[in-house]
Every structure is written in C-alpha cells, then in structure tokens.
Amino acid sequence: METDLIIVSEYCRKSHVDPSFIALLETEGLIEVRMIEGIRYLPLAQLCDVERYIRMYYDLSINIEGIDAIRHLLRRMEDLQNELNSLRNRLRLYEDSLL
C-alpha cells in the first residue's frame, strides 16, 4: 500500500469536515480520490488544495463554482508568473551577452 495516501473518512473526522464535501470536490473535478479495496483515499499531494478549498467553502462561504473559478485564476496567475520569470531570465542572458 502507498504511504502517500490519507483515508478520506479519517481525514474528515479529524478535520471536522463533512465527507460529502470531499465527494463534491471530487465530482466537480477539483481533486482526485482513489478507491483501494473499498476505501477512499486522498493523495497527500492534494492535501494543500483540499485545505484551501475547505477554508474557502466553510470560512469564506464560497460555493463550489466560485472555488473552481478561483482555482482557475490562481493557476493562470502561476502560469503567467512562470512565463514572466522565464522571459526575465532570457532577457538577462541577452543583456549579459551584450556586455
């Protein structure tokens, strides 16, 4: 069995999160839940995203559609930031070659 998986029911119990919320995130395609021998598991790599979605939903009262839109915008911002950094590095190489 993989060690980078969290049992969904245990996570929900310890985090005081309704398991149906995790199912809703999965249904909407925001996370992937693995089923192994009838037990639902959450990959550890998705834990930060799940906790962010929990805060948005429960603390900020943002619905699932809003969470999806925010997720899309944050990923787009990250892509643009990466592109900007890449262009800065290329410009720096160009400037260095002129000196």
Q: What is the pLDDT of residues 70-95, one digit of tens each?
A: 999 999 999 999 999 999 999 998 88
Coil, strand or helix: which one is 23? helix
- Please answer whether residues 1 and 41 qualify as being in contact, where contact means their C-beta atoms are separated by less than 8 angstroms: no
Rounded distance, CA 38 to CA 30, Å? 21
3-state secondary structure of 6: strand
> pTM score, two decimals?
0.81
Tens-digit pLDDT profile for residues 43-55: 999 999 999 999 9
Assess contact for 18 and 12: CB atoms under 8 A.
yes
